[in-house]
Each structure stands twice: as structure tokens, then as C-alpha cells.
Amino acid sequence: MVELEVLNAKTSKAYGKVNVSSASVAISELRVVIHKSLKQTPHADRISLRLEPRGKSLKDTDTVGALNLSDGDKVYIKDLGPQIGWKTVFLAEYAGPLIVYLIFYFRPEFIYGKAAGNPISLTTHIAAGCYTVHYVKRLLETIFVHRFSHNTMPLRNLFKNCSYYWGFTAYVSYHVNHPLYTSPCMCTVYAALAAFALCELGNFSIHIALRNLRPPGTKVRKIPVADGNPLTKLFK
């Protein structure tokens, strides 16, 4: 049994003391113990633990024993602020571009006014199909493929990440769906389409390979290696 003193990293105010059952307790478990024992502390998902007020955050996989913590030692809490689920952020990141792009494609009059009556090139149709395939793939991967090492991330990341994905999509779709857009040579378009299909397949293969490195319900991180799929050979 190890008794640790818990303090606020910003103010050095003491929250109280907690008893840790054994040296094998991981930091991820210690965060839960602290929140349950000291109700005034933030939720476990909001807690970052460190050994010094301005020190590095301890890894979830570190253990009390490996950190040489003993009776009377101090651990400091930094409140990471409001949290949101990783999967929720990913879904918002990828659903937004799909909606934004298709607004430009299906309802160009909202963006370009009367000029939107001009004929749309085959390249523009292909581009819309590619954008749709890519982000539908990413949404399905988020639901069925990805295994996240953390349950949550800071809420502010939702706005930062979505601003990038949604904003960049609006920029791309504005030009590709523009009434004055001029298609390049179709040989170039078809070559690019083939490259797109290969890259999407490769991207999916890599996500499957990475998923298989992490057993369900764990936070294991392994160095990726190539498997039987030739599209994973880049791991070498």
C-alpha cells in the first residue's frame, strides 16, 4: 500500500491523499482512483498527472512502481479542461467535408448564383464521386475499424480540427465546382483517378494493419510492420 499526496499543478493546493493498493497500479488506473477518492478533483479523463508542477505528463502505461513512488510522495494534477470523445471528433471531422462538398456540387446556385447554370464537366462529376468515396470510407473506418488509445481529447480540438477539414473542403469544392472550371485532358483525369483508387485502397490497408496491432480493449502501441498485403510494404 502506497499513500500519495495529490496537489493542483497550477496552485500547489492540496486535494488530499489517496491510497494505492500496489506498485503495479498504472497511471490510467491511478487517475480513476484519485477522482473516486477525492471528489473535488476533475473527472479522470480530464486529469493529467505529473511528478512536478511543470513536469511532463505521466504516460498512462507507467506504473507506481516503475516511477519509484513511495509513501508521502506528491503527484500533481493538471486539469485538461472539457473533453470530448475521439470517435465523436473524427465523425464530425469527416461528416462536415462530405456535407460541405455536396452542397457545392448539388446546389451550386447557392454559391455561384445565376452562373451556376453552365454545364458541368465530367471531371467535376468524378471529383464529387472521389470526395464522397473518401469521406464515406473515413466515416465507416471510424465506426468499424479504428481502435483509439484514449477515450477523449480536449473539446477545443473539435473546433480546430473541424475548421481545417471543413474549411479546406470549401476551398477545394469552390474551385472544382465553379462554373468557369476548365477540365484538363481526360487522359490526365483517368490517370489521376486510377492513382486515387490505388491510394484509397492503400490507405484502407494501412488502417487495417494498424488496427490489428492493437488488441480490442487495449492501448497497446506497436511498431507497424508489413504483412501479407503488398500495400503495407511501405512500413519497411
Cβ atoms of 25 and 63 closer than 8 Å: yes
- Mark which of 63, 81, 99 sits at the end of a domain: 81
47, 109: one domain: no
49, 162: one domain: no
- Residue among 143, 134, 147 nearest 203 (CA): 134
Cβ atoms of 151 and 45 closer than 8 Å: yes
113, 184: one domain: yes
**Can you tell me the distance from the alpha carbon of 168 to that of 232, in angstroms, rounded to the nearest whole number?**
28
Nine-digit cell string for 46:
480530464
Chain-centre distance of CA 228, in angstroms? 27
- Mark which of 22, 56, 81 sits at the end of a domain: 81
Residue 152: beta bridge partners?
85
Domain holding 124, by residue range, is 84-235
Domains identified in the chain, total number:
2
111, 77: one domain: no
- Mark which of 81, 108, 124 sits at the end of a domain: 81
pLDDT band for 117, please (50, 70, 90 cuts).
confident
pLDDT band for 218, please (50, 70, 90 cuts).
confident
Prediction pTM value: 0.84
pLDDT at 234: 86
**pLDDT > 70 fraction of the chain, expressed in percent and rounded:** 100
pLDDT at 123: 97
Greatest alpha-carbon span in the chain:
76
pLDDT band for 149, please (50, 70, 90 cuts).
confident
CATH (domain of 35):
3.10.20.90
73, 89: one domain: no
Pairing outcome for strands 74-79 and 2-8:
parallel
- Residue among 70, 67, 133, 66 nearest 101 (CA): 133
139, 192: one domain: yes
Q: How many residues does the chain have?
A: 236
195, 149: one domain: yes
* Average pLDDT, integer, range 154-173: 97
Amino acid at 38: L
pLDDT band for 114, please (50, 70, 90 cuts).
confident
117, 196: one domain: yes
116-126 residues labelled b (16+ CB within 10 A) or e (exposed): beeeebebbeb
6, 67: one domain: yes
